[in-house]
Amino acid sequence: MKIVCPVCKSILWVDRETEQVVKVERHKAKKKASLDELLGKEIKKKELVDETLKAAFDISQKKKQEAKSKFEELISKDPEELDD
């Protein structure tokens, strides 16, 4: 029977009849990322966030400009045209 330890992730092979551990396979530790790799990932995340914020800002500015132009268009119209 195969049992995986929830703490260390090692695999224990247990004999069903005797209920004794027959074999232990230690979980291989993850390779730790170097400082340069981690820094590179964080720089990429920051660039993505900056791009997203810039896109949102551009959309907001475009909407404001459209609203302003529509408002100025309505202001410049003759008041009698607006009542119709």
pLDDT along the chain (84 residues), means of 10: 87 87 82 87 97 97 96 83 60
pTM assigned to the model: 0.48
Q: Which residues pair with 44 in a beta bridge?
A: none
What is the C-alpha separation between 53 and 46, in angstroms, rounded? 10
> What pLDDT does residue 84 have?
54
> What pLDDT does residue 16 have?
86
What is the C-alpha separation between 78 and 72, in angstroms, rounded? 12
> What pLDDT does residue 21 have?
86
Q: Where are the domains of the chain?
A: 2-27+34-77
